[in-house]
């Protein structure tokens, strides 16, 4: 591998090429944070099979609702999943972000 220390001008050009969009970077970070936990990956895999409500996820994972709600909130914040209120239940499902291909 050949490497040389870049000049300030070369670094500025690299930054110009990358065209950082802070809002998009925040969204991407939240998405990856949502997937960065074994429990949340289990949730995503379960929701990859079918949409489920909190009580179904809690039963399947043998986890208290309060803990599960924390994980679901992070997944929603990262736009990995979305929730829909159906009567007395909230049903969770994967978003359209092709999450299933990554887990």
**Are the beta carbons of 55 and 103 closer than 8 angstroms?**
no
The reported pLDDT for the residue numbered 98 is 53
- What DSSP element (H or E) covers 52? strand 52-53
Indicate the class that CATH gives domain 21-102: mainly alpha
SS3 at position 90: strand
What's the predicted TM-score (pTM) here? Answer: 0.79
Rounded to an integer, what distance in angstroms lies between the CA atom of residue 91 and that of residue 41? Answer: 17
Give the burial class of 59: count Cβ atoms within 10 A of its Cβ; 0-12 exposed, 13-18 middle, 19 or more buried.
exposed
How does pLDDT run along the chain (103 residues), one tens digit per residue?
A: 999 999 999 999 999 999 888 999 999 999 999 999 999 999 999 999 999 999 999 999 999 999 999 999 999 999 999 999 999 999 999 997 655 555 4
Show me where the domains of the chain are located. 21-102
């Amino acid at each position: 591998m050949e490497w040389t220390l870049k000049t300030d001008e070369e670094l500025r050009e690299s930054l110009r090429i990358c065209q950082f969009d802070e809002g998009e970077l925040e969204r991407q970070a939240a998405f990856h944070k949502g997937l960065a936990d074994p429990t949340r990956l289990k949730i995503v895999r379960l929701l990859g099979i079918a949409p489920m409500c909190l009580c179904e996820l809690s039963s399947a994972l043998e986890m208290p609702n309060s803990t599960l709600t924390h994980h679901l909130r992070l997944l929603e914040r990262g736009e990995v999943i979305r929730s829909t209120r159906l009567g007395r239940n909230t049903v969770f499902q994967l978003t359209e972000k092709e999450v299933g291909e990554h887990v």
